[in-house]
Structure 1
Amino acid sequence: MNETTHGRLWTLLDSAAFARAYTIAVFAAVFSSFAIERLAGRVTAVTIVAALGVIGAVVLFVRRREISLVRLVPSTLVVFLAWALISVFWSTDRTLSFWSWVSAAGIALLGVTIGHIRDTLQTLRALGDVMRWLLSISLALEVLSGILLDTPFRFLGIQGAIAQAGPIQGIFGTRNLLGFVAVVALITFLVEYRTQSVPPGLSLFSVVLGSVAALLSDSPTVGVLALAVAAASAALTLVRGARPQRRSAWQWGLGATVAVGLIVGYAARHPIIAWLGAGSDFSTRAVLWENLLGYVRLEPVHGFGWFGPWAAREFPFASINYVLRESHASALSAYFDVLLQLGWVGLLLFFALTGFALVRSWLIASERRSIVYAWTPLLLVALLVDSLFESFTLSGPGWLLLVICAVRAGHARSWRERLDARIAGPDLPHAQDPSSPAR
């Protein structure tokens, strides 16, 4: 490769246009990984993600002068991944556990790359574009399967039940994952509308598209997620509208309200479940969690080793499914999955990762005028609430979004900001507010 070609490639990798294309490619590949795997095989899906990871590492190297090393990865993310890697040594299948960790680390690399080469508005715009396409394709395939051809597309997991008002799965494999993706899409579409970053007609189409997908998924978690995000939006609006000198009191008051709400919600869980019509779904989870806790007591501190999605033939997953006569692929809760696989140490580290990200992003959104900063905390609320009922946050799209949110939140209100400013000085670019990139 001569110097001219090398220079052109270097310029391309450093360009804003390539950064946007890369971000769209990552979102499209990770969110459609189920469909890619069903259509082209698991090797193809893994190869695509691996290639994007290599490209991301190269892009970070090319942009190394504008990226502060201390801000590259949140320390909570590093510690959590380090503990997951250490757990490989006591796993029942070290090889499988190691490659499961590589998968999580690889997707984390994609999230770290996006968090550094795109600002918040650019990230949500790319996600919004991908969500519009994937949800449109999902609904089109459901109509084709359930109405025009009246036959299920079993190779994609589409049951063709749209004529009966659902549940539908789209290209995501399960109704719960479609419901989760639809809620994430609606948060993104509404922030797009508030920031006027897309035409009003496109915003209206997007919101209707996301709402239809969420309703037709018939997922019991959609209602809970919608209520949680709506409550968080209202609370954030109150805090943003408060006077600066009273904002701290509002924050503490909201924190106390959330704590009381969690206690009341737990105490009234049975009436709430009945009202949501999710009794059978919750009873399945309750039985699973009760059985799972018996195995947690065997290895309470460090767990059984990191696997992410359950390895069907490994202990204790195979034993749990055998006792329950089920074929669960997860604990149906990210928190219980972390507790089972990484023990109480891993669960505390996971709480630190998510908790610091939520608090930092919430404080940023409550103090800065642009509504775009509300996207990160609202997305984190959706991820954390969904983690009560599903394990999506530990792999695939959920894990990617969690890492991106953690990186964005870690850019400000952390020890890195003070340390970076002290090392670099106030006049250098990387000592400035990184939430608004130079390009």
Structure 2
Amino acid sequence: MPANAHAPTAAAVRGSRRPLLPALGTWAFFLTFSGQGVRNLVGWWAFGLIAAVSGIVLLLVFLHEGHRVPWRALPPVTTAYVGLCALSVIWSQYPGDTALAALLMLATSAAGVLLACGLSLRQLTDALSRALEATLVLSLLLEAWVALVLRHPLIPLYMRDWEEVPISYYWVNGDLFNGGPIQGIVGNRNPLAFIALLTLLCVAVRWADRRVSPLGLVTWTAVSLLVLVLTGSATVSVAFVICGAVCLVLWLVRRVPPRFRPAVLITAVSAGVALIAAAIGLHSQVTAVLGRSSDMSGRWEIWQRVLELWEDHTILGWGWIMYWVPWLPVFATLVVRPDGTPTMSAHNAYIEALFQTGVVGATLVVVLVLLLLVRSFRLALRNIDSDASVLLPALLMTALTVQSFTESRLLSEGNWVVVCALGTWLGLHRLYEHSRDDDRAGSPDGGPAAEHPAPVHAPALLTLTHSDAP
């Protein structure tokens, strides 16, 4: 029996009803990217219940709709890092908190894997785009309500009984009509700005695939740019410029004749390296242009103190904790903000990994980012003449990589779900290509084998779930 004989049956079963997984994918992305907003609304315990139920429903629907997880497609480096975080409970300096953080890491990782195995790249793009768009709209509505109706800063609802709420814990300050900065439903301008950037990338790719109307393109571009301006995030401003440059290069590669493409790529890479070197050499001037201090808003101090702590546990780190919890003594006074509250992350994904999981974990994270960058750009360049959806992984990884140098969010919540989804989808695509090559090699004339019908051409995977692939 052909290896892919089950595919038509599975497809027919799914075709008899409207699949729920795409909608659950939208909810999963919304819950992980906008989790702070949900927590501010219902509290931590209720959020935990919502997240647990959502994860169980996602798994049940995934299985009910006939999908499966090909274990060979799981990205080994990502799996190794998740395993290291879970195992760190053994040597953790705060084992109870590490156990909880490890469960959260396993849950978000599983969500990314299930979405990659159950949705096509187009469906992933649509689910992510809708979740981010909803976050932007709700953020602007909340900001408008606070500014026009409430007329004073809004605190998280579960803090209503607190005698005093520190300024940095405020949910929304109500500065929408004062030019910002705004925090939106996520309660922080930096992640909100990053969400706006990811929305722009998704909308641009969907428009290039002719899956967004001109009105939709204008609307979501305007909303995203408005949020970018009102948040005023320096990191995201840099990421916006770099992602724009990458979009321009990929557009040029698609437009020029194939014989000129290597020259375009070499020129682009050379210019990029030169600009990065210049930015490093002119660090003070660049931060001044961005309206930030030369110590990157206090990040140098945070990094120095974290690295001093890391020296006590260099190989395996202090133990996985995700966000720094303020009730642990080591974090309560590590870096205190002006309002007296403790800082909750290292503001650098690699230093964070080094501190929490040691040299072993930091090495895995660096390798993971490099592999995803190489594989996503290779996918884009090899299929540059096909649907624009193949460009999205490269664009997302560009944005995530830039942000990872000044934020730790690469390793948690929505960003980590995207990392796991991209890594798994690229692994599935690689399995598909190997299967196609094996089928061709097994045929007498080098063409498709007679006994094993040839799989669909690679770009077709953009519109099929991987459960339909061999």
**TM-score, structure 2 length as denominator?**
0.82
Structure 1 residues 198-237: Cα deviation after superposition (integer angstroms, max 9, x where no partner): 2221221111111111111122222111111112212223
The CA deviation at 1:317 is 2.8
User: 2:22 aligns to what?
Assistant: 20
Secondary structure of the equivalent of 1:279?
Answer: coil
Go from structure 1 to structure 2 and tell me whether the alpha carbon gap of 1:194 and 1:317 turns closer, same or farther (over 3 Å shift).
same
Asked if the contact 2:243–2:399 (Cα under 8 Å) also holds between the matched residues in 1, the reply is: yes
- The amino acid of 2:394's aligned partner reads P
Aligned length: 428
Structure 1 residues 381-411: Cα deviation after superposition (integer angstroms, max 9, x where no partner): 1111011111121111111122222222223
User: 1:5 aligns to what?
Assistant: none
Go from structure 1 to structure 2 and tell me whether the alpha carbon gap of 1:246 and 1:65 turns closer, same or farther (over 3 Å shift).
same
User: 2:166 aligns to what?
Assistant: none
Asked if the contact 2:333–2:342 (Cα under 8 Å) also holds between the matched residues in 1, the reply is: no
Of 212, 219, 222, which residue of structure 2 is paired with 1:198? 212
User: 2:184 aligns to what?
Assistant: 170
Identity across matched positions, percent: 24
User: 2:282 aligns to what?
Assistant: 268
Residue 312 of structure 2 corresponds to residue 304 of structure 1? no
Paired with 1:23 and 1:37, the residues of 2 have a C-alpha distance of: 20
User: 1:37 aligns to what?
Assistant: 39
Matches within 5 A, 1:29-178: 29-62=31-64, 67-71=69-73, 73-155=74-156, 157-178=171-192
Residue 366 of structure 2 corresponds to residue 351 of structure 1? yes
Secondary structure of the equivalent of 1:320?
Answer: coil
Of 238, 247, 250, which residue of structure 1 is paired with 2:252? 238
Paired with 1:213 and 1:65, the residues of 2 have a C-alpha distance of: 37
Q: Higher mean Cα deviation, 377-386 or 389-398? A: 389-398
Go from structure 1 to structure 2 and tell me whether the alpha carbon gap of 1:252 and 1:86 turns closer, same or farther (over 3 Å shift).
farther
How big is the alpha-carbon RMSD for the aligned residues of Structure 1 and Structure 2?
2.9
Residue 464 of structure 2 corresponds to residue 437 of structure 1? yes
User: 2:434 aligns to what?
Assistant: 418
Higher relative contact order (CA 8 A, sep 6+): 2
Matches within 5 A, 1:260-409: 260-279=274-293, 282-314=296-328, 316-321=330-335, 327-368=342-383, 369=385, 370-409=387-426
Asked if the contact 1:13–1:19 (Cα under 8 Å) also holds between the matched residues in 2, the reply is: no
Asked if the contact 2:34–2:185 (Cα under 8 Å) also holds between the matched residues in 1, the reply is: yes
Paired with 2:224 and 2:456, the residues of 1 have a C-alpha distance of: 39
Structure 1 residues 274-332: Cα deviation after superposition (integer angstroms, max 9, x where no partner): 11111177141111112222222222222111111112243643352369976101011
Higher helix share: 1
The CA deviation at 1:41 is 1.7
Paired with 2:23 and 2:244, the residues of 1 have a C-alpha distance of: 32
**TM-score, structure 1 length as denominator?**
0.88
Asked if the contact 2:122–2:462 (Cα under 8 Å) also holds between the matched residues in 1, the reply is: no
- Structure with bigger gyration radius: 2
Asked if the contact 1:408–1:435 (Cα under 8 Å) also holds between the matched residues in 2, the reply is: no
Asked if the contact 1:13–1:62 (Cα under 8 Å) also holds between the matched residues in 2, the reply is: no
Go from structure 1 to structure 2 and tell me whether the alpha carbon gap of 1:149 and 1:82 turns closer, same or farther (over 3 Å shift).
closer
- Structure 2, unaligned stretches of length 5 or more? 1-12, 158-170, 443-448
Asked if the contact 1:301–1:343 (Cα under 8 Å) also holds between the matched residues in 2, the reply is: yes
The CA deviation at 1:264 is 2.8
Structure 1 residues 15-54: Cα deviation after superposition (integer angstroms, max 9, x where no partner): 5521222112212222231122122121221222222322
- The amino acid of 2:106's aligned partner reads A
- Structure 1, unaligned stretches of length 5 or more? 1-10
Paired with 1:145 and 1:89, the residues of 2 have a C-alpha distance of: 46
